[in-house]
Amino acid sequence: MTVDPTRKHPRPESPDQEQQHPGWTGPMDPPPDHGEKSYEGSGLLLDRKAVVTGGDSGIGRAAALAFAREGADVLFTYLPEQEEKDAADTVSLIEEAGRTAVAVPCDTRAEEQCRQLVERAVDEFGRIDVLVNNAAYQMSQPDGIEAISTEQFDRVVRTNLYGMFWLCKMSLPHIPAGGSIINTTSVQAYKPSPHLLDYAMTKGAIVTFTQGLAQMVIGDGIRVNAVAPGPVWTPLIPATMPDTVEFGKQAPMGRPAQPAEMAPAYVFLASPRASFITAEILNATGGTPLP
């Protein structure tokens, strides 16, 4: 049966809600859908070894779950002492799919922690077939550039760019031909919201980095692509946005995406079905036209 995509998920009036950063899944209303009851695998990633940053919740959890149901073992990161409950739930979902789950506390702002993460992945799996750079930080500042402190700016840049750079650089010696790197950019890279100025800037940089790195490693048989989501209902939203009631209504579909709706994009780009696709940005914006 075909389903109207504008009605695939309900469009309730999300009640006003707020959390401390980085937020967690439990108190979200409505609860996000990561594909727990809907995603069915077909062996597209059988016996692949995947690393997903920020895999404890949101898009990262949905991608990790989908990878596992497609046959991959998954190592994912979470922020230590802040996201243990969500990380444990992601472990359970991966293991219920019959695959190995490894949850690693890691702050990708720290170069040494990134190095240790790659070493842990190689120790556990022997190689890295798929690297998903998904961990990100944002904080809405509706009062203009004057409200963006150096501390905030530094955290946004180090989380969104430094971590991605280090993990790509450190992982590449362990990614075999046929492997894939997938970065998470955003609709903000093309249509920046003023209140997310620093975040949008980093997402634009991710587009450029993705396209440049893809050309650099194509001779090694490694593909590099990115997914550009539009508004997605994740814990980052009540933890960083001032108005959850209106969130997502600006998308032409009239609603935010659920994390489960992003997961197939990551699966496709990681799979052999995307063998002729590199240096591309897969836009999943709910109808927002992008260049």
Q: Please list the active-site residues.
A: 199
Q: Are 128 and 51 in contact (CB under 8 A)?
A: yes
The CA distances from residue 240 to 68, 121, 134, 256, in Å, are 29, 30, 17, 16
Give the count of alpha carbons within 13 A of 109, CB side only. Answer: 14
- Closest of 37, 97, 108 to residue 71, by C-alpha: 97
Both tokens of 245, joined, read 């009631």
- Closest of 61, 103, 83, 119 to residue 266, by C-alpha: 61
Q: Which helix (H) or strand (E) holds 209?
A: helix 197-217
